[in-house]
Each structure stands twice: as structure tokens, then as C-alpha cells.
Amino acid sequence: MRRYYVLPFGEGKFYVTEKTPFHVIEDLRFTFGTVETVLIDEEAFNEKLEDYISSLESRLEEEETFGGAVFEDLLAGSDAPVIQLLNTIFLKAIRVRASDIHFEPYEREVVVKYRLDGVLHEVMRIPLSSYSKVVSRVKVISRLNVAEKRLPQDGRIKVKIGKKQIDMRVSTLPTIFGERVVIRLLDRSHKLLTLKELGFSDRDYAVFEEVITKPHGLILVTGPTGSGKTTTLYAAIQRIWTPEKNILTIEDPVEYQIEGINQVQVNPKIGLTFATGLRSILRQDPDVIMIGEIRDLETAEIAVRASMTGHLVFSTLHTNDAPSSIARLTDMGVEPFLVASSLECVLAQRLVRRVCSYCAFEYQPTDEEMETIRAVLGNVKVAKLKKGKGCDKCLGTGYSGRIAIYQVMRMDEEMRALVSKTSDTEKIREIARSKGMRTLLEDGLEKVVYGVTTVEEVLQVARD
């Protein structure tokens, strides 16, 4: 600003002097589109610049006071059409509890979609001609480089609606028709679910609660990306937390802050990986450790050895079901006898959509649905099932919210003896089933019988 004599004072408005180079004004026009310049003398410019720097310093002090949080107030409003459009998109997404907002540019227009309960829904279309202003606005409030359109960028936005505070993670990606933008919404005021609210059956809840209250051992939660593994781990940690326990987590990213628990954010750019962070955590005298994900042999070995030296260790893996996690660890290079000695429990999970409570109705199940249910659950009594008609509350889908379906594999002496000899998934599954382990499909169809979800939804995520 000092060098080029240019100072912003509003949306697309800048003070300039006779010393301002012409190419700088052209650059501003290229970046912001329509630009309004006000010519003032050099003395007036310097005074306004000093005022601007003072206000900037005050804002930075405020950021430090409030933990770096500077919030865009969506209810504050603005006359600018682009700001009004974006605020409308944000407000509606928050109202319907969308987890992501997608801006997808095509040849003639841009499609805006919300991810609601794991499924994308188109909500509006924007003319391609005005899309560049939308992207620029997103970049400005998420502190990204507005002029850079050729490379992917990542940023963050903090917004507030009244007293509610929302974190938004922004990702841009250049495509042939423009920059694709995806925004992940994280409600900071959202209450974390407790273990009892997750969807465990009584039997599985009793087993899982028993293993997480042990003083040491390794507990794994498995499933694909977006299956709710982190939510389950947070619920487990909240269940066992007491002021007498030192609980540390290392995550990528830290999605929700939990009071009383020290959370570490992975940062590979500076060498803070899961493995390096975990070594440091072990020197912090922890009782309980949560590792966001076991991605490599080094992390796996540290986690296993930590669980064998008096620590309770929670982590996640990407496997299809609980028994196949044994093979995954041994394929990484962990010795079978270490897996057998350290592992206490493996929990596999998926998320299914709940029937919308506002438009739910009972109906007589079809022959095909009854055949599916009885093929898995046996000759169970089913009078009526539930599904949703579709209403404004659920965007016409018939579903609102999600619930987890689980498979809990508990280790005992017989299982440990088997795992130390072989990582054959079929043999491990056979023994676990003989000890009462249920499949994801069984747990899901049981929730169908209780009217929580539908057969179609369960078959989509848990077909054997």
C-alpha cells in the first residue's frame, strides 16, 4: 500500500494518488471486476493509511484474545448481490444441517449442491458469467489468493448466525470451466453424541463399554471415509474421561474441540506426522491416546507397543469389516503375536439414513423385503415397517439424520491364539461368529425392523 499508494475502503473501492501506477489499478480491475477509485492527495492518503493500520492492529489483538477467531456475521447483511447470494446458500445449508456445499462449474452454468446425510442434492444453479465473483468472495473471506486460479487452494472461513458459530473448510480445484469449490461445514456449537446415542444394540454397547474402560489395550474402529469413525472415538473418550486421566489425541484434522482433552493437529509440512507426534505424546505421560488413523507400519508399531506398556490406545483403520483388520495390520508389517497380544476389540461401522420423523408412515412390507429380512435374521416377526413420504424438513428425501450400524469383534484367549498363528480373515470371522459377533447387515436389518431406517438404505451400505 505504501509502495503503490493504493488503499481499500470498501467492497471494490480504493483510495489512490497521482503516484499510483496505472498497472496497479488495472490489476485491481482484473482481480475484482468493477473497481471504484477515489483520487486524494498524498498527505490525506498517509493519514488514512495510518488509521487503517491502527484498525488492523486492533483487529489482530482481538484475534489473539479470542483464539484467532474472526467471524463473518451472516445476519449482518450487505447490499452486494454476490454477498447476499453466498449468505443465502450458507444459511440454507446450516438450516438443513448439510455437511458440505459443492459449487460445480459446467459449460453454461454452475450447479450448487448440498451433501445431506451423506447424499448430494442439487439446490440451485448459478449463471457461469457471475460465478467468478462468487469464487472471489469465497477466497476473500477464507484468506486465499484471489488472483491464483490455476492451482488448488485450501482455506478456512469462520461464520456466525446469532450466537451459533460455524467453521467452514474451503477447497478450490481448477477445472476446464472454472474453479470447483467444496466447503465443509463444522458446527462449533454442535453437541457431540454420547456413546448411548450412536446406535449400539444393548449387547454391543455392553461389550464396547467394557473394553473401553480397561486400563490398557488397542481398540480399533474401522470403516470407509465418512462412516462416523471419529464421532465414535470422540464418544468413547468422553465416556471414559475423568480429571484424573491424561488423554491426548493426534488427529488430521481436529474436527471438534473436546474440553479437558489435549488435541494435536498433524502438520506434515513441518514434519509433524502421526508417527512423530505419537512419539512425543508418549513422553507426555498419557493414560489414553487417540490416533486419528493408522496409515503406516511405523504408526502401527508405536500404537501396538504403547498399548502393551500400560496405555489405552484408540485408532481407526480402513477395512471392510472387523475380522479383516487383522490381515490389514499384518500386511502393514506388524508381527501377528504383537497384534494378538495388544488388540482388545475391533469395531466396524457404517452410517445409514434415519427415516424422517416428520413424514414417516407405517406400511406393509413387500414380499421381497420380508425375504431379505428373514434370510438374514431368521423367522423374525414383522408387522409393519416405516419409511418417509418426503417433506420440506428432509428436502423431499424421506430421511433425516443418520445412525450407525455396528459389528463388534471382541478378542479373547481363543481368538488371540488363532491370530498369533494366522491372519486368515475367513477363519477369524468364523471363530468370531461362533462367539456371537454379528454382521453389519444383521445389525442394520434389526434397525429396519425397529422402524429406524429402510431395507434399501441398509442394503446400499452393508450388503454381504
C-alpha cell at 173: 480445484
pLDDT at 269: 83
pTM over 0.85: no
Greater model confidence, 55 or 1: 1
Provide CB contacts within 8 A for 207, sequence distance 6+.
345, 408, 410
Is residue 387 within 8 Å of 360, Cβ to Cβ? yes
Following DSSP, what letter does each residue of 225-273 receive, concatenated? TTSSHHHHHHHHHHHH--TT--EEEEESS--S--TT-EEEE-BGGGTB-
Instruction: Please compute the mean of the pLDDT values over residues 157-172 and round it to a whole number.
Output: 82
Tens-digit pLDDT profile for residues 244-283: 999 999 998 887 888 889 999 998 888 899 999 999 999 9
Examine the pLDDT at 69 and tell me if it is beyond 60.
no
Task: Answer yes or no: are the C-beta atoms of 231 and 99 closer than 8 Å.
Answer: no
Q: Which amino acid is at 455?
A: V
Residue 80 in this model has a pLDDT that exceeds 80 = no
Q: Average pLDDT over the chain, rounded to whole?
A: 88
In which band, very low, low, confident or very high, does the pLDDT at 166 lie, cut at 50, 70 and 90?
Answer: confident
pLDDT at 308: 94
Q: Mean pLDDT throughout 43-56?
A: 80
Q: Which residue has the higher pLDDT, 77 or 260?
A: 260
Q: What is residue 76's three-state secondary structure?
A: coil
CA distance 245 to 242: 6
Output the pLDDT for position 151: 93
Residue 53 banded pLDDT, cuts 50, 70, 90: confident
Please report which confidence band the pLDDT of residue 95 belongs to, taking 50, 70 and 90 as the band edges. confident
Domains of the chain: 6-65 (no CATH), 72-187 (3.30.450.90), 195-462 (3.40.50.300)
Residue 195 in this model has a pLDDT that exceeds 80: yes
Confidence band for 447, pLDDT divided at 50, 70 and 90 = very high
Residue 167's pLDDT is what?
Answer: 85
Which is more confidently placed, 31 or 1?
1
pLDDT of 94 reads 86
Distance CA 196, CA 404 (A): 11
With cut-offs at 50, 70 and 90, classify the pLDDT of residue 56: low
Q: Is residue 62's pLDDT more than 50?
A: no
Averaged pLDDT for residues 284-303: 94
69 backbone dihedrals φ, ψ, rounded to 5°:
-95, 110
What residues have CB less than 8 Å from 164, skipping those under 6 apart? 94, 187, 189
Indicate the pLDDT class of residue 68, thresholds 50, 70 and 90: very low
- Of all residues in the chain, the percent with pLDDT exceeding 70 is 93
pLDDT at 232: 95
Which of 2-11, 128-137, 188-197 tops mean pLDDT?
Answer: 128-137
pLDDT at 10: 78
Q: Where does 66-108 have alpha helices with state H?
A: 81-95
Look at residue 35 and give its three-state secondary structure.
coil
- What are the angstrom distances between the C-alpha of 423 and each of 118, 339, 340? 33, 10, 10
Q: What is residue 63's predicted lDDT score, i.e. its pLDDT?
A: 45
Residues 310-338: tens digit of each pLDDT: 999 999 999 999 999 999 999 999 999 99
pLDDT of res. 66: 40
